Amino acid sequence: MLKYRITLTALAAAAVLTASASSLGASATTSATQSPVPGVWRLGQDQDWKTISPQDKFLVAVAEAKKLVNTGQTESARKAYEKLKQDFPNIAGADLDAFIEAEMLYSEGKFTKAYRAYEKLLKDYPETKLQPAVLDRQFAIGTAYLQGQEKSVLHVVKLKGDAEGVRIMEKITDRASVDSPLGLRAAIAVAENYQDREMFNDAYLKWWEISLQWRTGQIAKDALLAMARCKHNAYNVHPEEKRPFYDTAGLATAKTYYLNFKLLYPEDAQKLDIDNIVKQIDEQLAQKQLCIAQYYHKVGNIQAANLYYDMVSNNWSGTQAAEAAKKSRAGNSDI
């Protein structure tokens, strides 16, 4: 990164010198790295100097004012925004006034009112160029709620803000789409919040939604592993002695995801000891069927019990449940 910064700095310095020489009357030939006119420029992706538009300058100035809000400098931020209106009279409109109002509320920590103000801005001015800045602020508010910020109700009662944070993030994903950087961040924030609250089935559905849009790369790998863990944890969240009484469909799904992860990312699977996790799932699946066999045995249906004992010993050989099934089967005679 340092190399690129030095290169860009050198190019910028060269540009400034060229502009100065031009203003003094020096002639120069326009090239791929020289601005055709003096002024403010940026280096485009095609390595050609391009003039920064007033709209770009305006958005940069907005970003600078937002920094003051981030640090709680409300009055300084207000003055910076007012200066914006003076410096860009042809761009600054009613949408900027609405944005400033929301920013002041945000700077004062009034997140609920600020969020509503940002929402009203997007509703009243759907084509506003400030939308990225608004969504960024809404993401920050949603993050605060997900991280424990309480929400005031009727200015008296304070409730945990998780539900509000999820709602905000879901709306951001809907607006920006899960295949955009901000939409993806919002979706992942929701999934991780569900996991933190042990709402594993909800977390699984969110990761599944992410996986549909991101089928390759790091995000695809993270989503696949997260789906496996969510399905496994949804079963393990129950007390160990009661787990065999719950449906094991999620366990089978978790096993499939873990095996797919191992197939696609063998080195990562080895580091994460996926083989041992799959072995644990096999034991849990076997224990479930052993529990059914023991039930039939207890009520006197020996034939049904033996069928399940045989299934456990045949399908999950090497598990503790299979050994127990063999011993119980040996003591029974078929009817």
203-215 confidence digits (pLDDT tens)? 999 999 999 999 9
Neighbours of 114 (CB within 10 A): 22
pLDDT band at 85 (very low <50, low <70, confident <90, very high): confident
CA 250 – CA 14 distance, rounded (Å): 62
Task: Compute how many other C-beta atoms are within 10 angstroms of the C-beta atom of residue 61.
Answer: 18
The answer as to whether 324 is a domain residue is: no
pLDDT given at position 181: 94
Count how many domains the chain has. 2
Q: What is the CATH number of the domain that holds 121?
A: 1.25.40.10
Question: Does one domain contain both 65 and 167?
Answer: yes
Q: How confident is the model at residue 303 (pLDDT cuts 50, 70, 90)?
A: very high
**Above 80 in pLDDT, residue 56?**
yes
Of residues 200 and 159, the one with the higher pLDDT is 200
Residues 57 and 69 in one domain: yes
Greater pLDDT, 331 or 267 = 267
pLDDT confidence of residue 322: 95
Q: Could you say which of 197, 230, 245 is where a domain stops?
A: 197
Given a cut of 50, whether residue 4 has pLDDT beyond it is: no
Q: Check residue 132 and give its pLDDT.
A: 93
Give 144's contacts (C-beta < 8 A, 6+ positions apart): 111, 161, 165
298 part of a folded domain:
no
**Mean pLDDT on 5-34:** 40
Same domain, 4 and 121: no
Predicted pLDDT at 278 = 98
Query: pLDDT averaged over the chain?
Result: 84
Cβ atoms of 233 and 284 within 8 Å: the answer is: no
For 136-144, what is the mean pLDDT? 96
Least confident of 79-93, 149-163, 288-302: 149-163
Query: What is the pLDDT, as a whole number, of residue 17?
Result: 39
In a domain, 24, yes or no: yes
> Under DSSP, is residue 158 helix (H, G, I), strand (E, B) or coil?
strand
- pLDDT digits over 110-125, tens only? 999 999 999 999 999 9
Q: Quick one: 135 and 73 in the same domain?
A: yes
Considering the domain architecture, whether residues 15 and 79 belong to the same structural domain is answered as no
CA-based nearest residue to 182, from 163, 198, 168, 193: 168
Indicate whether 254 belongs to any domain: no
Residue 15 reports pLDDT greater than 60? no
Q: Are residues 132 and 159 in the same domain?
A: yes
Is residue 45 located within the same domain as residue 58?
no
Looking at the structure, tell me whether residues 61 and 190 fall in a common domain: yes
Q: What is the pLDDT of residue 65?
A: 86
Pick the more confident residue, 135 or 45. 135
155 and 96 part of one domain: yes
CA distances 195 to 10, 33, 258, 319, Å, are: 48, 51, 18, 29
What's the domain range around 31? 1-51
- Within a domain: residue 11? yes
